[in-house]
Amino acid sequence: QDSSEVTLNYATELVVTTLQPGEPRRLSLKGEAFFRVRRNETPFIVSTRCADVRVVGTEFNLREREGTLEVAVTHGIVQVRVVKDGKDSTLTLRQNQMALCTQNGFPKRIDDMPSPEYPGWLQGKLFLNRTPFAATCREIEMRFDVEIRIDDPNLRNEMITGTLNARTAESALSALCGLTGKGFKHDNQRYTIY
């Protein structure tokens, strides 16, 4: 009702608690979502398994996958907060800054956003920055509800950096195989990378 907007990515769950006048706006997130939060007198708090993210008015992307939270601020200021063992490790991020926080760790700053098109999922792209090949395949599997088999076990841990056109499973796999010099084939719902 405050006109804030949230766009959910695939395999994402967002729970909104009942909003009370004068109380913080609270949500919990599993997965990935892009937020456009309208400024008002109350904070906007998104809780994940890794950390709480607090804003007043801003645009940012949250991505929680496999025990790691990635926070990227496109406009405004965001605070990423973890309180553990009596220690408060609040990290403040500004426009174009990113942070990672593991489920049992504290938030830490990483590189700035890789592109003005970030987050890529809103534009049908997948940005990879030293991402294991197997993790990239899992992203494609979740996004398109397909199965990918990797024939070469040595390929699973190869680190991938680049941008994939991810409008379809085929376009994403073509780009991924182009980066690694591999090929793929398709039968039914399974893709095999060889």
Peptide bond into 114 cis (omega under 30): no
Residue 156: predicted pLDDT: 93
Residue 59: predicted pLDDT: 95
CA distances (Å), origin 158, targets 69, 110, 137, 187: 22, 21, 12, 25
- Judge if pTM exceeds 0.85: no
Q: How confident is residue 155, by pLDDT bands cut at 50, 70 and 90?
A: very high
CA distances (Å), origin 140, targets 1, 3, 126, 134, 144: 34, 32, 9, 10, 6
> Does the pLDDT of residue 15 top 90, yes or no?
yes
Residue 11 is encoded by which pair of tokens? Answer: 């395999």
Mean pLDDT of the chain: 92
C-alpha 164/C-alpha 174 separation (Å) is 9
Q: How confident is residue 86, by pLDDT bands cut at 50, 70 and 90?
A: confident
Residue 181: predicted pLDDT: 92
**How many CB atoms are located within 10 Å of the residue 27 CB?**
20
